[in-house]
Amino acid sequence: MKSRFFGCALVLVTLAGVSGCRKHTETAKADPLLAAYDTEPDWTDPQKIIQLGYQQAQGQRIFYQHCVWCHADATPAGPSNRSNLTPVPPLLNDGATLNAESDEYMQNIITLGGSALGKSAMMPPYGRMLSAEEIRSVIAFTRAIAQPPYQPPGRPASQYSAK
Ligand code: HEC
């Protein structure tokens, strides 16, 4: 009788151990930063870290190679050209300007350059340097860092939002 009770208690302890273990791995998986391919500090608030998915992280890489010189104020090599240009190019996170532009328009101006769309020729054409997929990824990065945040068309802000 005694030993049977002891056996039972052992099984319970083992079960508790197993479920404890499972809980632990679930917590590790739930950390969203581990699921991100890369991160970008919010340009308007560097305390905030934006998590980037795969396509957005590809776009980030292309942005820092090709676009940062004119579409950001700081570059990995120091201050940018931006303030020397007329018209001054929008910061790539400038949601007030770029959120209103469709993906199609963005794809066109990046591919064909400013002059093809009646804008400044200071915006170079990238259609021969970057693939359509690479240009899509820069647009995805643009949408990810936008301030105010980008709302995809047809998906209005929830009327139940906490504000
Ligand atoms: C040599 C400087 C320069 C570089 C490099 C550059 N741009 Fe531009 N870009 C401009 C200028 C100047 C304008 C503004 C054109 C105008 O308003 O007439 C512009 C405009 C734009 C616009 C349109 C903004 C609007 O509101 O219509 C987008 C989108 C854009 N650039 C994206 C990019 C991307 C993405 C890259 C990198 C692949 C890039 N640019 C590289 C100078 C540059």
Mean pLDDT, all residues of the chain: 85
Prediction pTM value: 0.81
For residues 127 and 118, give the distance between their C-alpha atoms in angstroms, rounded to a whole number.
17
Mutate which of 73, 99, 123 for ligand 1? The one with the most ligand atoms within 8 Å of its CB, which is 123
Cis peptide, bond prior to residue 32, ω within 30 of zero? no
Three-class secondary structure of residue 113 per DSSP: coil
- Which of 11-25, 69-83, 116-130 comes out lowest in average pLDDT? 11-25
Q: Among 56, 71, 133, which is best to mutate for testing ligand 1, by the most ligand atoms less than 8 A from CB?
A: 71
Residue 151 included in any domain: no
The pair of structure tokens assigned to 157 is 């802000």
| The pLDDT of residue 21 is above 70 | no
Please state which of the ranges 23-32, 58-67, 139-148 shows the lowest mean pLDDT: 23-32
The secondary element (H helix, E strand) that includes residue 134 is: helix 132-145
Domain count, the chain: 1
Q: Residue 2 C-alpha to ligand 1 middle, in angstroms? A: 80
CA of 74 to the centre of ligand 1 (A): 16
Residue 154 lies in a domain: no
Q: What six digits make up the tokens of 57?
A: 């992280």
Average pLDDT over residues 10-35: 55
What's the CATH number where 60 sits? 1.10.760.10
* pLDDT of 75 over the 50 cut: yes
> How far apart (Å, rounded) are the C-alpha atoms in residues 66 and 80?
12
Answer whether residue 62 is part of any domain: yes
- How many Å lie between the centroid of ligand 1 and the Cα of residue 129? 15
> Does residue 87 sit within a domain?
yes
Domain assignment of residue 63, given as a range: 35-145
Distance of CA 71 from the midpoint of ligand 1 (Å): 7
Cβ atoms of 51 and 32 closer than 8 Å? yes
